[in-house]
Amino acid sequence: MQHQSNTHTSVNPIPDFDLSKHNTLALPSKAEYFCRYKSISELLNLLAYANKEKLNIKILGGGSNMIVQPEVKGLVIQSAMTDVVKLSENDDSVIYAVDAGLTWHDWVLKSIKFCAYGLENLALIPGTVGASPVQNIGAYGVEVCQAIEEVRGIQISTGQWMSFSREQCDFSYRDSIFKKQFKNDFLITQVIFKLSKVFRPQTSYAPLKQMAEQFLSTTNVDANENAKSLSAQQVADWVINVRNSKLPDPQIIPNAGSFFTNPIIEKPQVDELLKQFPTMPVYPVANSTGKLVKVAAGWLIDQCGWKGKSLGLAKMHDQQALVLTLKPGASQQDLLSIQQAVQADVMNKFGIQLRPEPQPFY
């Protein structure tokens, strides 16, 4: 992958930039320098500028999965590149290259319009396309890694352009190589998606299952024909409705969506817990041959009495105990205090360590 720098493209980083409106928790924060880039040449000039001025590069996506600190040192850069290009197709599938700066939800809706399927269950997840592989975003039985063919970008420390296949990304639950070996050292410029031309609805997870069953019961044709009559847009609309009913709009109530990851623990521990808490929701973990089980973090938090409960200027949401929300004027300390209190109560009651999903940004 060769990219030529255009030395005539000027970049003007903004000093002392207010990041409070660029993170969905609305935490107070200022970046030492900030700049959005609209082309690869602008990006290369920004990297050269940072190198010359000895500034660390910090990559900002949609600001939905991070805990910004009051001061962010270095040069914060954000992609304004949003192109979608069809690379190839055959009878069964189609491959698209999508720029990192495109809003994730916009890409999901575009893919449905293109009759390219596999992302419908991931509708309305906040953030950008470039951030989606880092976290291996997932919802309602689908993870983005299932649709990713390749991830392209530049290693910040070396300036080397690199490309990772799906296997090389080392995807697992809410994890990837970009959170491990390449943490804070890889800038994703494009994600390559391989999507199906045949829509296969994924409605095994409640409440999508309930919605699908209600839909099936309203018509007289058999279940197989009915499943075929389901559309990708319909499933996406269900997902959007469910998310809107449970998750607050960050424009109105600052939050970062699900704040804790669902813990993955060993089956013997789960079996012991199920004796004491038989209604505890548990899910199988792919490729663990039954040795590991995923537990619903929201249920654990709810059982500890945190649903709708406040601590200082922070609160666990009324409709979804997994969502940490902040009130106007809340600080990083308010967030940390409620995070630690919830973790302590879940540990005391269940012996399970909850881990926050958003990453520190400093």
List residues with catalytic annotation: 174, 258, 357
Which tokens sit at 270? 């789960």
Question: Which run of H or of E encompasses 41?
Answer: helix 40-52
Q: Which residue has the tokens 């949609």?
A: 62
3-class SS of residue 75: strand
Q: How far apart are alpha carbons 257 and 255 in whole angstroms?
A: 6
With a CB cutoff of 8 Å and minimum separation 6, the contacts of 105 are: 123, 124, 125, 126
Q: Report in angstroms the alpha-carbon separations of 1 from 47, 96, 133, 288.
A: 17, 17, 20, 36
Q: Which amino acid is at 344?
A: A
Give 97-133 as a DSSP string.
EEETTSBHHHHHHHHHHTT-BS-GGGTT--SBTTTHH
Contact 111, 199 (CB under 8 A): no
Q: Which amino acid is at 297?
A: A
Q: What is the DSSP letter of 149?
A: E
Helices 104-113 and 232-246 sit at what angle, rounded to 10 degrees? 160
Q: What is the DSSP letter of 250?
A: T
CB atoms within 10 A of CB 54: 7
Q: Which residue has the tokens 């190839």?
A: 88
First to last CA, the chain: 31
CB atoms within 10 A of CB 289: 8
Give 301-320 as a DSSP string.
HHHTT-TT-EETTEEE-SS-
